[in-house]
Amino acid sequence: MNKNKIRINFISRGNRYLASISFTDFEALNKDLKIRLDKAGKVYERHLKKMKGLLKTRDNLKLKNKIITARFMWRIGNEIFLILEELNNIGLIVDDLYENLTRDLKVSKTTIKRLISLRRYFNDINELPPRLGWSKIKDAPKKYSNKS
């Protein structure tokens, strides 16, 4: 275990997601584990649903040749941060976050990395210029950030 955090993975069961842990971690835990894992599955499912909706909107914008703004993509990255924050609050961390998200969102690992990087450099959506396109910032968010 990592600093008293429990490493979890998510298992897809149709439209539902279950949180799972290694047997070693399971043996070391107390009786509230089931409650925490149930809550983790619901947290992941709720944010995944939001991200899927945003990705569907992104795909529709692409089809219409509309510009996808950095602010729009920040919202997806923020959902990832919200998952991590909520799980942290109940003492859990995701084991191989990228694998879980690429599988469940059906996007590349590179896209997930870019979303996380964007959100890491911009804590607030309003820090991003409203008209800044995703294509301009996706590979170098640090360039547009005040953070070093």
For residue 100, tell me if it sits in a domain: yes
Domain, as residue range, for 60: 6-144
- pLDDT over 70 at 31, yes or no: no
Average pLDDT estimate for 30-50? 89
Nearest-5° Cα angle at 136, 143 to 118: 60
For residue 56, tell me if it sits in a domain: yes
For residue 35, tell me if it sits in a domain: yes
For residue 86, tell me if it sits in a domain: yes
Q: Are 58 and 73 in contact (CB under 8 A)?
A: yes
- Give the pTM: 0.81
| The total number of structural domains that make up the chain | 1
| Between 109 and 11, the higher pLDDT residue | 109
Handedness of CA 116, 122, 124, 125 (dihedral sign): negative
- pLDDT over 80 at 130, yes or no: yes
Per-residue confidence (pLDDT) for residue 1, from 0 to 100: 42
3-state helix, strand, coil in the chain (%, to 5): 60, 15, 25
For residue 1, tell me if it sits in a domain: no
